[in-house]
Amino acid sequence: MRWPWLLLVGCVPELPYDGGLVDTPRVLAIRADPAEARPGTPVRYTALVATPDGEGAEPVEWAYCVTPRRAEERTAVSATCLAGEDLEPIGSDAAILADACTRFGPNSPPVEGDEAPRRPSDPDATGGYYLPVRASTAEASAFGAQRVRCDLAGATRDVFDAWQDRYTDNLNPVIDQLDVPMSVAPGTTVDLGVQSSSAEPYVVYVAERSRLLDRTEDLTAHWFVTGGTLRDGRTPLRDGYASTRWTAPDAGDVHLWVVLLDDRGGVDWVSTTVRISLEDR
């Protein structure tokens, strides 16, 4: 069973590029609405499940990973959660764990038994903390990340007050337009494009400089197909637009998905079907 980490945030290592080919059922993305919220806030989760025949219709089971990974663990989530342990079953509508900022954020975790004290989690490069969320069907499973709003730690009072005034919760990005042909000739190479104007400005605390910095989100398009070959499976948006090239297979309809990620854990996606037609020769 594969356990990919979907929302690639912070120092989480990216998976090797697999060509974006969907030849087995896969969970391609997990979306949280709202994309960022405080502990205890109700959230709705949606999974994009893709199969070689199009989007999957099987029921999705949901769970939170409740154990943070240890410092020596190189996986994105703890080994126990990857093994199917330390999971708290939830529905697609659930509340963020009340102690998420203690388990996965900057608050000092309690010492349990004879265990050595565990240091609080570090934020990612955008200042965020994340609660792992698992989506699973009978044939596919994956972990995503719920961004949790935790209070700023380690800052002076003046910086903390300024951060409180200026910080805004992340919103999911929105795909404005998908540029994909409805049909192509077998073996044809075509350009595919996606447009979005939803990169948000945000403020981040830089501890080494003890100051707040203004930044703007980076957006990345992730491309997936059930046939043919993609030149690039991940393409950053420049001036609100990203593109790749795709070479069509010799026959059959091809299902295509574009997953748009911002670098604070927000997600959007769109899907379409491209017909491989001899009439387009």
Average pLDDT over residues 158-187: 96
State which of 3-17, 96-110, 174-188 shows the largest mean pLDDT: 174-188
110 inside domain: yes
Residue 252: half-sphere exposure toward Cβ, Cα within 13 Å: 12
17 inside domain: no
Identify the domain containing residue 221 by its residue range. 26-280
5 inside domain: no
Q: What is the pLDDT of residue 106?
A: 93
* Count of domains observed in the chain: 1
Q: Give me 64's structure tokens.
A: 């939170």
Q: Which pLDDT tens digit goes with each residue over 250-264? A: 988 999 999 999 999
- Omega cis (within 30) before 16: no
Q: Which pLDDT tens digit goes with each residue over 104-155? A: 999 887 666 666 667 788 899 999 999 999 999 999 999 999 999 999 998 9
255 inside domain: yes
66 inside domain: yes
Dihedral sign from CA coordinates of 70, 72, 76, 77: negative
Average pLDDT over residues 210-237: 96
Model's pTM, two decimal places? 0.90
20 inside domain: no
Instruction: CATH number of the domain at 262, please.
Output: 2.60.40.10
Give the least confident one: 12-21, 157-166, 178-187, 228-237. 12-21
Please state, in angstroms and rounded to a whole number, the distance separating the CA atoms of residues 118 and 123: 15
